[in-house]
Amino acid sequence: LTEPFARPAETPYAADAVVECVPNFSEGRRPEVIEEIVLAARGFEGVSILDVASDPDHNRTVVTMVGAPAPVARAVVAMTGRACALIDMERQHGAHPRVGAMDVIPFIPALNMTKENCVALAREVGREIAETLGIPVYLYGEAASSPERRSLSHLRRGEYEALRTAIAEADRRPDFGPAATHPTAGATIVGARAALVAFNINLGTEDLFAARTIARAIRESSGGLPAVMAKAVALADRGMTQVTMNLTDYRVTSPLDVLDAVSKHAADLGVPIVESEIIGLVPLDVLVDLARRALKAGAFTAAQVLETRLGRPS
Amino acid sequence: LTEPFARPAETPYAADAVVECVPNFSEGRRPEVIEEIVLAARGFEGVSILDVASDPDHNRTVVTMVGAPAPVARAVVAMTGRACALIDMERQHGAHPRVGAMDVIPFIPALNMTKENCVALAREVGREIAETLGIPVYLYGEAASSPERRSLSHLRRGEYEALRTAIAEADRRPDFGPAATHPTAGATIVGARAALVAFNINLGTEDLFAARTIARAIRESSGGLPAVMAKAVALADRGMTQVTMNLTDYRVTSPLDVLDAVSKHAADLGVPIVESEIIGLVPLDVLVDLARRALKAGAFTAAQVLETRLGRPS
C-alpha cells in the first residue's frame, strides 16, 4: 500500500481527531475467515478494535473500531483487501442484503471530528479501494453523490446478483472504480453517517400485534418519527415482544422521544412497557443530549463530565 | 516530605485507580496567595488540576483535582503546607463557615476506586498533615470516627473562633494531631464522600415564596428527599428565582427524582419551571444512572459509552 492518508494536504483532521468505523463484511459463518479479515486491521498503531459481532444467519460480521483517521483508513482498506481475497460473492448467501465481500464501510464522528471530516475520509477510502483493489465503490449517507444514494437500501436494490448487470446502467455507475462488479468481491459502499443508536423497547405481551402496530406507527418509512427505523420481534424465551429500533440521528429523534411515543401507543393498546435496552456502543454525546432533555438542562456539555478531563495536563 | 504514600502496604489501590480531591482553603481574595497555594499542587506527575474557583464573599477557594491516589495525596499535603504558611486564621473572615486555613479535604471515588479506598486515603492524608504540619485533623463523611462527625456542619460548629478553646473538650478531640488548634492554620477536616451533584432548578417568578416553599419541602433536613440539600436564591438579573441544591448521593436521590418532585410542587404553586442547571463537574456514572432511569434501560453500563473504550489496546 502507498500511504495517501499520510499526505498533509489530504489529512485536514484535528491532531486529536478520533473517528469510528464500522465495516460490515459478508462472512458470518467461517471463523477462520472472519479472524483473518479482522487480523488485517490489527497492528495499526492508534487503531482500537472494540467489537467483532458475527451472525451466521445473516452471514455477516460487523466490526467496530476507533482511532485517528489516517490509521483507521489504512486498517479498513487492509481489511477490504483480505475480504476481497477470501470471500466469493458468487457463492455467498445469507439473510442480510449485500452487494459485496466488504459490503459497507461507514465512518462516524467520535471526538474532534466533524461530519465534513468523515465525508472527506469516506471519499479518500473509496478512491483508494477502487484504485488499489479494482472494486467499484458507491458513496452513501452524508458522502452520497445524489440524494437517492444517501440510502443503503437504494444502493443495494437487487443485491449483488442484480448489480452484476445493472452496474452498467447510467444511474447505477459507481462513484469510483470500474463500471463492472469485481469477479469475486462485487462492490463496496463507503460513506459517512451520524452515530446510530440501537434501541429496543420490550412489551409485556407475547402477542405481536401491539409491537407491530407500534413499529408501524413510529417508523419514518410509514410516516412516523424522523430518523427512526423500527420493526416488531417476538422474544419467545422471555414471554415478551419487542419494538426493535435503529435511531439514525439521535439529535433529530432521541431515545427519550421514542420512549415517550411508544409509551403513548402502548397505553392506548393497553400493553405495559417492561424495559428498554441500548444495544452496543453509543457516543458520550447521546448521554449528554439525554441529560439536556430529561433534566431540562440545556446548557450542560460533555466538558462537564469528569472522565473527559482525565489525563489532561494541569 | 517523606513519601508515606509510596509504601506498598499503605497503597492498596488498583494500578489504574483515579481519585478526585476537592480541597477548600480559606482564601478567596488575594490572587497571589491563591496562586501560590495552588502552585504547590502543580508538577506532581499524574495529578490534573481541573478547576480553581475562588469566591471573595466566601473568602474561600475550591480546587478540583484528579489523579492516582498517591500523587494526589502528596499534592494536597503540599497545598496544606502552603495554606498553613500563608493564611492566618486570626485575621481571616468570610461568609463561609470554616475551622482552618486548609478547611476541608474530601476524597471522592472517580475510576477503579472504592469508597473504602477513599476512606483509607483520607486517613493517610489526615495522619500525614497532623504529623508533618502539627495541625489537628478531624475525619468526616465516610471516614468519620463517629456518626455525628460524618457531618461537616457538626465539626464546624462555632467555627475556628469557638474551636480554639472547645478543642480541649473530650467530644471535640481531633482524630489526629494535638488537642490544640494550630496558631495560624486552625484545624483541617479530611474525609471521603460520594460525588456531589450541584443541581439548580430555575422558576419563572421573581417572588421567592415558591422557591423557599419548595426548598423546604424537598430538603432532607426538613423531612424531604434523602441526600438532598436545598435553599432558595433570587436571580434578580434574570427575573427568576432558584432552588439551588447539592445532591450528596445521586444514587439515592438522582437529579431526575429531584426534578420530578420540584415539578409537582411548582405545579401545585402555579409556578413554571424554566430550566435546570448542572454546575461544575459530574462523574460519567451520573449520566449512566440517568439513562437507566429516564429510558428504563436498567442494564445500560458505562462500558457501552464509546469514549470509555478509546485508547485501549485492540
CB atoms under 10 Å from CB of A151, counted, come to 13
A291 touches B at CB < 8 Å: yes
Which neighbouring-strand residues pair with B279? B198
Question: Rounded to whole angstroms, what are the CA distances from B107 to A52, B13, B192?
Answer: 38, 14, 5
B314 touches A at CB < 8 Å: yes
Catalytic residue annotation of A = 96
Which among B295, B299, B310 has the least Cβ separation from residue A66?
B310
B85 touches A at CB < 8 Å: no
Which residues on chain A are in Cβ contact (under 8 Å) with B282? 304-306
C-alpha cell at A219: 417508523
CB B201 within 8 A of CB B262: yes
State whether the Cα torsion A26-A28-A33-A38 is positive or negative.
Answer: positive
* A residues 151..170 contacting B (CB < 8 A): none
Nearest of B150, B197, B2, B177 to residue B84 by alpha carbon: B177
CB within 8 Å: A259 and B309: no
Please give the helix or strand (H or E) that residue A263 lies within, else none. helix A255-269
CB within 8 Å: B110 and A290: no
CB A306 within 8 A of CB B281: yes
d(CA A76, CA A126): 11
pLDDT of the residue at B312 = 44
The ipTM, to two decimals, is: 0.77
CB B205 within 8 A of CB B241: yes
CB atoms under 10 Å from CB of B250, counted, come to 23
- Among B307, B308, B309, most A C-beta atoms within 10 A, so best to mutate, is B307
Which among B277, B290, B296 has the least Cβ separation from residue A290?
B290
Q: How many Cβ contacts (< 8 angstroms) between chains A and B? A: 147
- Radius of gyration of chain A measured on its C-alpha atoms: 20
Which residues on chain A are in Cβ contact (under 8 Å) with B273? 296
pLDDT of the residue at A313 = 38
Pairing mode, strands B18-21 and B60-67:
antiparallel
- Which chain A residue has the Cα nearest residue B108? A306
- Give chain A's residues under pLDDT 70: 1-11, 311-314
- Which chain B residue has the Cα nearest residue A200? B297
Count of CA atoms in the C-beta half-sphere (13 A) of A92: 31
Task: Calculate the CA B303 to chain-centre distance.
Answer: 26
Nearest of A203, A194, A269 to residue A233 by alpha carbon: A203
d(CA B184, CA A221): 73
Which residues on chain A are in Cβ contact (under 8 Å) with B291? 278, 287, 290
3-state secondary structure of B276: strand
- Which chain A residue has the Cα nearest residue B38? A314
- Which chain B residue has the Cα nearest residue A280? B304
- Among A306, A308, A310, most B C-beta atoms within 10 A, so best to mutate, is A306
Which residues on chain B are in Cβ contact (under 8 Å) with A66? 306, 309-310
pLDDT of the residue at A311 = 54
CB B107 within 8 A of CB B142: no
d(CA A87, CA A205): 42
- Give chain B's residues under pLDDT 70: 1-11, 311-314
Which residues on chain B are in Cβ contact (under 8 Å) with A273? 296
B213 touches A at CB < 8 Å: no
Nearest of B94, B104, B98 to residue B63 by alpha carbon: B104
CB A35 within 8 A of CB A42: no
CB atoms under 10 Å from CB of B87, counted, come to 25
Which residues on chain A are in Cβ contact (under 8 Å) with B283? 305-307
Closest chain B C-alpha to A68 CA, distance in angstroms: 10
- Among A295, A300, A310, most B C-beta atoms within 10 A, so best to mutate, is A295
pLDDT of the residue at B12 = 77
pLDDT of the residue at B311 = 53
Nearest of B249, B276, B251 to residue A292 by alpha carbon: B276
Of B58, B96, B154, B265, which residue is the catalytic one? B96
Closest chain B C-alpha to A254 CA, distance in angstroms: 10
Nearest of A99, A78, A92, A101 to residue A21 by alpha carbon: A78
CB within 8 Å: B306 and A276: no
Q: What is the pTM of this model?
A: 0.77
Question: Rounded to whole angstroms, what are the CA distances from B166 to A18, A307, B133, B155?
Answer: 58, 42, 21, 11
A113 touches B at CB < 8 Å: no
State whether the Cα torsion A159-A160-A162-A167 is positive or negative.
Answer: positive
CB within 8 Å: B273 and A296: yes
Closest chain A C-alpha to B161 CA, distance in angstroms: 36
* B residues 26..65 contacting A (CB < 8 A): 42, 47-50, 65
CB within 8 Å: A314 and B259: no
Give φ, ψ of A24 to 5 degrees. Answer: -115, 115
